[in-house]
Structure 1
Amino acid sequence: MKVLHILHHSLTPARYYNDESTKFAIEIAKRTKEFSLECWRPDTSVKKMLVSTDIYGIVHKVFPSIFLRHGLEAPIRLLQAIKTESPDVIVHVHGMHSIPSNMIILSAKGKKVVAHSHGALQYPLISLKHPLRLTATLMEQRILRRIDYYFAHSREELNYYSKFFKDRIKIVRAGINTELFNQKDKFESRKLVGLQDEDKIVLFVGGLIEARGVHHLIKAMEKMNATLVIIGSGKDEEKFRNLAKKLNVKAVFLGWKDNAELPNYYNSADVYVNPGVIGGLTSVVEAMACGTPTISTPLVPSLIDIPEAKEFIKVIPYGDVKMLRKAIEEILNSGIRVPKGLMEKYSWDEIVRIIIEVYRELTEGGK
Structure 2
Amino acid sequence: MHVAMVTSYYPPSTGGMERFVYQLTQRLRARGIKVTVFTGDHFGRTNLSDVVQLRTRAVLLGNPLVPSLFKLSFDSYDILHAHDEHALTSNAVAFVKKEKPFVMHCHGSFSGGSFAWKMFVEFYMHTLGKFTISKADATVALCPTEARQLANYGAKNIRIIPNALNPDEVNLKADPEIFRTRYNLKGKRIVLFVGRLIPLKGAQLIPKIASDFNDDVVFAVVGDGPLRAKLLQEIKERKLKNVISTGRIDSQTLFSAYNACELVIVPSTSEGIPAVVLEAILFGKPLVCSDLPNIRDYFENVCSFAKPGDAKSFAQKVSEVLKKPPQDSQLELAKELVFERFNWKRVIQDVLDIYKEVVNK
TM-score by length of 2: 0.81
Contact conserved, 1:51 with 1:61, CA < 8 A, in 2? Answer: no
Pick closer, same or farther for the CA change 1:248–1:39 going to 2, 3 Å. farther
The equivalent of 1:316 in structure 2 is 306
Bigger Cα displacement from structure 2, 211-220 vs 153-162: 153-162
Note if 1:244 corresponds to 2:240: no
Q: For 1:148-297, what aligned pairs fall within 5 Å after superposition?
A: 148-162=137-151, 164-166=154-156, 168-181=157-170, 183-184=172-173, 187=176, 190=179, 196-222=185-211, 223-225=213-215, 226-249=217-240, 250-257=242-249, 262-279=254-271, 281-282=273-274, 283-297=276-290
Distance 2:17 2:51 in 1: 10
The equivalent of 2:24 in structure 1 is 24
**Amino acid paired to 1:299:** L
Deviations 1:181-201 (A, max 9, x none): 474376356469766442211
User: 1:18: Cα distance to partner?
Assistant: 5.1
Deviations 1:145-188 (A, max 9, x none): 3211100122122124347455x211112112223347437635
Bigger Cα displacement from structure 2, 182-191 vs 195-204: 182-191
Pick closer, same or farther for the CA change 1:10–1:183 going to 2, 3 Å. closer
The equivalent of 2:33 in structure 1 is 35
Q: Which of 56, 65, 68 is equivalent to 1:74?
A: 65
Contact conserved, 2:198 with 2:225, CA < 8 A, in 1? Answer: yes
Distance 1:320 1:16 in 2: 24
Segments of structure 2 that go 5 or more residues without pairing to the other structure are none
Pick closer, same or farther for the CA change 1:291–1:300 going to 2, 3 Å. farther
Deviations 1:83-110 (A, max 9, x none): 2333433221111124443123323333
Pick closer, same or farther for the CA change 1:14–1:126 going to 2, 3 Å. closer
**Amino acid paired to 1:115:** M
Deviations 1:263-309 (A, max 9, x none): 3332222110111212262211221121110001111565533xxx4
**Amino acid paired to 1:41:** T
Note if 1:354 corresponds to 2:350: yes
Pick closer, same or farther for the CA change 1:257–1:352 going to 2, 3 Å. farther
Contact conserved, 1:42 with 1:65, CA < 8 A, in 2? Answer: yes
User: 1:45: Cα distance to partner?
Assistant: 5.8
Distance 1:108 1:176 in 2: 31
Segments of structure 1 that go 5 or more residues without pairing to the other structure are 54-58
**1:175 match: secondary structure:** coil
Contact conserved, 1:208 with 1:235, CA < 8 A, in 2? Answer: yes
Contact conserved, 2:145 with 2:293, CA < 8 A, in 1? Answer: no
The equivalent of 2:82 in structure 1 is 93
Contact conserved, 1:113 with 1:146, CA < 8 A, in 2? Answer: yes
Deviations 1:15-69 (A, max 9, x none): 599533213223434xx432012333212265xx76532xxxxx23332212167
Bigger Cα displacement from structure 2, 184-193 vs 295-304: 184-193
Q: Which of 343, 348, 352 is equivalent to 2:338?
A: 343
Deviations 1:298-344 (A, max 9, x none): 11565533xxx423211000122222112222323346553253532
**Amino acid paired to 1:117:** C
Q: CA RMSD in A?
A: 3.4
The equivalent of 2:106 in structure 1 is 117
Distance 1:60 1:84 in 2: 16
Distance 1:129 1:50 in 2: 31
**1:110 match: secondary structure:** coil
Contact conserved, 2:70 with 2:92, CA < 8 A, in 1? Answer: yes
Pick closer, same or farther for the CA change 1:324–1:145 going to 2, 3 Å. closer
